[in-house]
Amino acid sequence: MIALTLPQPYGIKFADWGAVAAEQLAAYGVSAPPSEDDWKSWVCALFYVPELSDIPSPDQFPTWQAWAYRFIETR
């Protein structure tokens, strides 16, 4: 499992939150998300990192913040 230190997703822009996540996951080939509109596609790309295969599916969440909050709990 990859240990991450991510900010809480509330009160922060998706681009900023995603940049922090991408920086911490750069060794696994993760790049910063292109835009908030594409947050689900970006999350789906994370499934290609074997150590992140247990992350929650974005389809279960109405917003990126709800998903990110749960993602942080899994780390």
* pLDDT tens string 16-26: 999 999 999 99
Evaluate whether 64 touches 9 at the Cβ level (below 8 Å): yes
Predicted confidence (pLDDT) at residue 72 exceeds the cutoff of 90:
yes
Residue 1's CB is within 10 A of a number of other CB atoms, namely 8
DSSP string, the chain: --------STTS-HHHHHHHHHHHTGGGT----S-GGGHHHHHHHHTTSGGGTTSPPGGG-SSHHHHHHHHHHH-
Structure-model confidence comparison of residues 75 and 9, the more confident one: 9
Q: 12 to each of 2, 36, 48, how far by Cα in Å? A: 23, 12, 26
pLDDT class of 62 with cuts at 50, 70, 90:
very high
How much is the mean pLDDT over the chain?
Answer: 95
Domain residue ranges of the chain, discontinuous segments joined by +? 14-74
Read off the pTM: 0.92
For residue 2, the model assigns a pLDDT of: 84
